[in-house]
Amino acid sequence: MYNNKVFICGVDTSKLPLLKESEKEALLKKVRAGDIKARDELINGNLRLVLSVIQRFTGRGENIDDLFQVGCIGLIKAIDNFDVSQNVRFSTYAVPMIIGEIRRYLRDNNSIRVSRSIKDTAYRAMQVKEQLSREKQTEPTVEEIAEKLDISPGEVVIALESTVSPMSLYDPVYSDGGDTIYVLDQVGDNNDDNNWLDEIALKEAINGLSEREKLILSLRFMQGKTQMEVSKEIGISQAQVSRLEKGALDKIKN
């Protein structure tokens, strides 16, 4: 199922039921009437929806079981608050609720500390965003959210950005076969002082490199250029720059 993992939180996701819209409508009406059994059946019948939502939050290093449990909380809230009199599909209402619950979880468990006031603004902004999305059936603009909250668009941007997980320097951004390029490879260094190449004692190792390898290392570590800038300057692909750079460094280390 998800990342070839069938069992999530002890649930065999390969055997989850899939309800038809007519079945959902009938169960929702029973839930409104206080039928607990119908509520449980509706929850189980929408767990596939939770699975589809948590796939949007891959690459954050979060535990899949945790995300699934948090998503289920959002699903239950959606079931308990859904208005059957409205001409809206349940999934249309539930997906933003599940996403909002997961985002709140990620925000509160972020490794970077964010002030409580910004967190509160972010929480209110996400609520307004979900509300406007349901009302207009389109993604609201920052200006619309700001107007609803009576704050500046800049405050909305800062608040929502505070909920985004930080990116690691070792996150891959491109892969060509075995040549993986990481975020770290895209970062230049404008500090020419005390560069590590100036302090290398094994000058013979450097002299043993090809002229192209020397040029790449010079551009990368002496001039602080990114691999993309180096590739444009010497007329080869970024993947080739990455491969030649790695090979040159390996020669020096050996």
> What residue spans define the domains of the chain?
1-109, 112-166, 172-253
Per-residue pLDDT at 187: 64
Q: What pTM was estimated for this model as a whole?
A: 0.44
Overall average pLDDT of the 44-51 stretch? 88
Residue 70: which residues within 8 A CB-CB, separation 6 or more? Answer: 101, 102, 105
The confidence band for 61, taking pLDDT boundaries of 50, 70 and 90, is: low
The confidence band for 1, taking pLDDT boundaries of 50, 70 and 90, is: very low
| DSSP code of residue 5 | B
Per-residue pLDDT at 4: 47
pLDDT surpasses 50 at 16: yes
Per-residue pLDDT at 25: 87
Q: Of 77 and 62, which is predicted with more confidence?
A: 77
Residues β-bridged to residue 175: 180
CATH of 112-166, one of 3.40.50.2000, 2.170.190.11, 1.10.10.10, 3.40.50.720: 1.10.10.10
Overall average pLDDT of the 35-52 stretch? 89
| Arithmetic mean of pLDDT over the chain | 79
CATH number for the region 1-109 comes to: 1.20.120.1810
pLDDT digits (tens, 9 = 90+) for 83-127: 888 888 888 888 888 998 888 887 776 655 666 777 788 888 888
Helices (H), the chain: 21-32, 36-44, 47-54, 64-81, 90-108, 116-136, 142-149, 153-161, 183-186, 203-207, 211-217, 227-234, 238-253
Q: Do domains 112-166 and 172-253 have the same CATH topology?
A: yes
- Residues 65, 9 contacting (CB under 8 angstroms): yes
Cα angle vertex 126, ends 122, 130, to 5°? 170
Per-residue pLDDT at 133: 86
Secondary structure class of 85 (helix, strand, coil) = coil
Q: Which fold has domain 172-253?
A: Arc Repressor Mutant, subunit A (1.10.10)
The confidence band for 153, taking pLDDT boundaries of 50, 70 and 90, is: confident
pLDDT surpasses 50 at 73: yes
